[in-house]
Chains A and B, each alone.
Chain A
Amino acid sequence: MSIGESSTPLGKVRGLGSAREGGEHWLTERVTSIALLLLGSWFIASLLLLPQLDARTLTEWLRAPSAMIPMALLVIVAFKHALDGMKVFIDDYVHEPGTNFVVNTLLLFLAVGGAAIALYALAALAFGAAV
């Protein structure tokens, strides 16, 4: 069966188009959104269920693997989802190819840099000396 006769519209789009990767971007945005549905709800619920939100309680909570691991996942997936979403916004409004490339590259650096800083903070909390 040729790709053109694929059974679903998504199957036809996947891997096609002039950029050859638009379908993957679309799909990644959806998959990360489902992950964030879980991780975001966990994050909000956890904060609401802590007895208080002072530095000591939060640090103790976050240093435990049960919070540290989902928090690391939340940071990675949230920055990836933000990057994918902001790219759609930029591609919609910045049409000139040169400017589009510059803005998208800045966005990529911002997202990767931000994620690295947040993950460094988590590593410091997990493996650093107890505060």
Chain B
Amino acid sequence: MALFSNTAVLLGKELRTEFRSRELLTTTVVFILTIVILFSFTFQPSGNESLRFGPGLLWLAILFAASLMLQPGFLREQNNDTLSALRLSVSDPFAIFLAKLVANTVFLLLTEMLLLPIFAVLFNVHILAVFPQLVLVFFLGSVGVAIPGTAFSAISAQARMRELLLPLLLLPLLTPVLIASTESTAGLLDAQPALQGKWLGFLAGFDVVFLTALWLFGEYLLEE
């Protein structure tokens, strides 16, 4: 129970500090909107082109935004060595990861929910009928991005070439999540929308495997 109460307390701290400074959300939202608007100008989005390119471009934008958003997670804990204070205070270090993971997922989902209607207008796609299914895909995809992202953020924060290290570690590992998320999104934006079970299952499996790995080995990532 201490794990969940510590996680809840830390999540409150993560949300409070972010909503107070709006550092991550502002940067990411501006960045992701710029990318999507730029993409929409590169071709005239007819129905067919939007369906071919749209989901891939959407998840590419989310990937860029995520790599911006995930970097400061543990880096901010280095400023005043607050990570040490957290390690001295929590009974289970996994609580530190879990809180950051949930916060990162919430921030990513907020960004995506803001992005989705703008994407629909710019790329001329209909999302209302499949909105609940899209939310499910975005949720599983965002968790899939946030789990390794949070873990690698902890590793890279202690490294010298941290700005280089996080994308270098993260991007290859996220390729399967991006493929599954893109395929699932494409299935939902199709003329005959369908929730693709195999890709959703893959996303759920990826999330479970990496969350379990983080739970088992996360403590070692925080050690000096």
* A and B part of one assembly: no
Chain A residues at the B interface, C-beta cutoff of 8 Å? none
Chain B residues at the A interface, C-beta cutoff of 8 Å? none
